[in-house]
Protein backbone atom coordinates (compact mmCIF):
# COMPACT_ATOMS: atom_id res chain seq x y z
CA UNK A 1 0.00 0.00 0.00
CA UNK A 2 1.40 3.40 -0.97
CA UNK A 3 1.90 6.11 1.62
CA UNK A 4 -0.24 9.20 1.42
CA UNK A 5 1.96 12.22 0.79
CA UNK A 6 1.21 15.62 2.32
CA UNK A 7 1.92 17.12 -1.11
CA UNK A 8 -0.77 15.12 -2.92
CA UNK A 9 -2.45 17.36 -5.49
CA UNK A 10 -6.00 18.53 -4.75
CA UNK A 11 -9.10 17.68 -6.71
CA UNK A 12 -9.16 17.74 -10.50
CA UNK A 13 -11.85 16.82 -13.02
CA UNK A 14 -12.04 13.12 -13.90
CA UNK A 15 -11.56 13.97 -17.56
CA UNK A 16 -8.54 16.16 -16.83
CA UNK A 17 -4.89 15.53 -17.56
CA UNK A 18 -4.14 14.16 -14.08
CA UNK A 19 -1.90 11.09 -14.21
CA UNK A 20 -3.05 8.08 -12.18
CA UNK A 21 -0.19 5.61 -11.67
CA UNK A 22 -2.39 2.96 -10.02
CA UNK A 23 -3.83 0.88 -12.84
CA UNK A 24 -6.73 -0.38 -10.68
CA UNK A 25 -7.76 3.20 -9.80
CA UNK A 26 -7.37 4.29 -13.42
CA UNK A 27 -9.58 1.44 -14.63
CA UNK A 28 -12.23 2.16 -11.96
CA UNK A 29 -12.30 5.88 -12.81
CA UNK A 30 -12.58 5.21 -16.53
CA UNK A 31 -15.41 2.71 -16.15
CA UNK A 32 -17.14 3.05 -12.78
CA UNK A 33 -19.59 0.28 -11.99
CA UNK A 34 -21.16 -1.43 -9.01
CA UNK A 35 -18.01 -3.39 -8.26
CA UNK A 36 -15.84 -0.25 -8.14
CA UNK A 37 -18.12 1.99 -6.02
CA UNK A 38 -17.62 2.02 -2.27
CA UNK A 39 -19.30 4.19 0.35
CA UNK A 40 -17.55 6.34 2.94
CA UNK A 41 -19.58 6.73 6.13
CA UNK A 42 -18.29 9.70 8.09
CA UNK A 43 -20.31 11.58 10.68
CA UNK A 44 -23.74 12.08 9.08
CA UNK A 45 -22.52 11.66 5.49
CA UNK A 46 -22.68 8.69 3.11
CA UNK A 47 -20.39 9.47 0.19
CA UNK A 48 -19.99 7.23 -2.87
CA UNK A 49 -16.34 6.82 -3.94
CA UNK A 50 -14.75 5.23 -7.01
CA UNK A 51 -11.22 3.83 -7.01
CA UNK A 52 -9.27 0.75 -6.04
CA UNK A 53 -9.87 -0.75 -2.57
CA UNK A 54 -6.41 0.21 -1.23
CA UNK A 55 -6.66 3.88 -2.17
CA UNK A 56 -10.28 4.13 -1.03
CA UNK A 57 -9.17 2.72 2.34
CA UNK A 58 -6.31 5.26 2.53
CA UNK A 59 -8.71 8.10 1.68
CA UNK A 60 -11.12 6.97 4.41
CA UNK A 61 -8.33 6.67 6.97
CA UNK A 62 -7.07 10.20 6.28
CA UNK A 63 -10.63 11.61 6.38
CA UNK A 64 -11.08 9.81 9.70
CA UNK A 65 -8.42 12.03 11.27
CA UNK A 66 -10.93 14.91 11.07
CA UNK A 67 -13.72 13.38 13.18
CA UNK A 68 -14.21 12.06 16.68
CA UNK A 69 -16.41 9.29 15.31
CA UNK A 70 -15.03 6.35 13.37
CA UNK A 71 -15.17 6.21 9.60
CA UNK A 72 -16.34 3.15 7.73
CA UNK A 73 -15.86 2.04 4.14
CA UNK A 74 -18.61 -0.18 2.76
CA UNK A 75 -18.18 -2.23 -0.41
CA UNK A 76 -21.96 -2.37 -0.83
CA UNK A 77 -24.79 0.17 -0.85
CA UNK A 78 -25.68 1.05 2.76
CA UNK A 79 -28.98 -0.32 4.09
CA UNK A 80 -30.21 3.21 4.79
CA UNK A 81 -29.23 4.37 1.32
CA UNK A 82 -27.83 7.80 0.59
CA UNK A 83 -29.83 10.44 2.47
CA UNK A 84 -28.85 13.50 0.43
CA UNK A 85 -30.93 13.75 -2.79
CA UNK A 86 -28.06 15.55 -4.57
CA UNK A 87 -25.60 12.79 -3.66
CA UNK A 88 -28.08 10.12 -4.82
CA UNK A 89 -28.22 11.77 -8.26
CA UNK A 90 -24.52 12.68 -8.44
CA UNK A 91 -23.48 9.40 -10.07
CA UNK A 92 -25.49 10.40 -13.17
CA UNK A 93 -23.36 13.51 -13.79
CA UNK A 94 -20.61 13.26 -16.39
CA UNK A 95 -17.79 14.91 -14.40
CA UNK A 96 -16.70 14.34 -10.81
CA UNK A 97 -13.75 15.63 -8.83
CA UNK A 98 -10.79 13.28 -8.56
CA UNK A 99 -8.56 13.41 -5.50
CA UNK A 100 -5.00 12.09 -5.74
CA UNK A 101 -4.27 9.53 -3.01
CA UNK A 102 -0.67 8.31 -3.11
CA UNK A 103 -0.12 6.78 -6.56
CA UNK A 104 -3.87 6.41 -7.10
CA UNK A 105 -6.94 8.59 -7.24
CA UNK A 106 -10.46 8.55 -5.85
CA UNK A 107 -13.56 9.84 -7.62
CA UNK A 108 -16.00 11.54 -5.24
CA UNK A 109 -19.56 10.94 -6.50
CA UNK A 110 -21.39 13.45 -4.31
CA UNK A 111 -23.27 16.72 -4.59
CA UNK A 112 -21.07 19.85 -4.76
CA UNK A 113 -21.55 20.74 -1.07
CA UNK A 114 -20.62 17.26 0.16
CA UNK A 115 -17.76 17.03 -2.37
CA UNK A 116 -16.30 20.19 -0.87
CA UNK A 117 -16.82 18.85 2.66
CA UNK A 118 -15.14 15.50 2.00
CA UNK A 119 -12.26 16.94 -0.04
CA UNK A 120 -11.76 19.53 2.72
CA UNK A 121 -11.72 16.76 5.33
CA UNK A 122 -9.14 14.85 3.29
CA UNK A 123 -6.90 17.92 3.05
CA UNK A 124 -7.33 18.62 6.78
CA UNK A 125 -6.51 14.97 7.50
CA UNK A 126 -3.32 15.24 5.43
CA UNK A 127 -2.30 18.35 7.39
CA UNK A 128 -3.06 16.57 10.67
CA UNK A 129 -1.05 13.51 9.65
CA UNK A 130 1.83 15.75 8.55
CA UNK A 131 1.85 17.62 11.88
CA UNK A 132 1.67 14.38 13.86
CA UNK A 133 4.53 12.74 12.00
CA UNK A 134 6.56 15.97 12.09
CA UNK A 135 6.07 16.25 15.84
CA UNK A 136 7.06 12.60 16.39
CA UNK A 137 10.18 13.04 14.25
CA UNK A 138 11.22 16.16 16.19
CA UNK A 139 11.07 14.25 19.49
CA UNK A 140 13.32 11.40 18.36
CA UNK A 141 16.87 11.48 19.69
Domain extent, residue 60, equals 12-135
Tens digits of per-residue pLDDT, 83-106? Answer: 888 888 887 776 788 999 999 999
Mean of per-residue pLDDT scores for the chain = 82
**Please, are residues 111 and 87 in contact by the beta-carbon 8 Å criterion?**
yes
In a domain, 141, yes or no: no
Q: Are 108 and 115 in contact (CB under 8 A)?
A: yes
Identify whether 2 is part of a domain.
no
The yes-or-no verdict on residue 14 having pLDDT over 70 is: no
Residue 55 falls inside a structural domain: yes
Asked, for residue 1, whether it belongs to a domain, the answer is: no
pLDDT at 55 over 90: yes
pTM of the predicted model as reported, rounded to 2 decimal places? 0.79
Q: Has residue 45 got a pLDDT over 50?
A: yes
Q: Is residue 80 a part of any domain in this protein? A: yes
> Would you say residue 77 lies in a domain?
yes
Q: Is residue 57 included in any domain, yes or no?
A: yes
Measured distance CA(111)–CA(103) in Å, rounded: 25
Domains of the chain: total: 1
> Is 6 inside any structural domain?
no
Amino acid sequence: MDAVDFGDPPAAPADGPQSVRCTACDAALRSPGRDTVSFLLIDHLTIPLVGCPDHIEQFGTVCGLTTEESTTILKHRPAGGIQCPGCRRASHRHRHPVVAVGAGAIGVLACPAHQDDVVGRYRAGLRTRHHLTESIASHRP
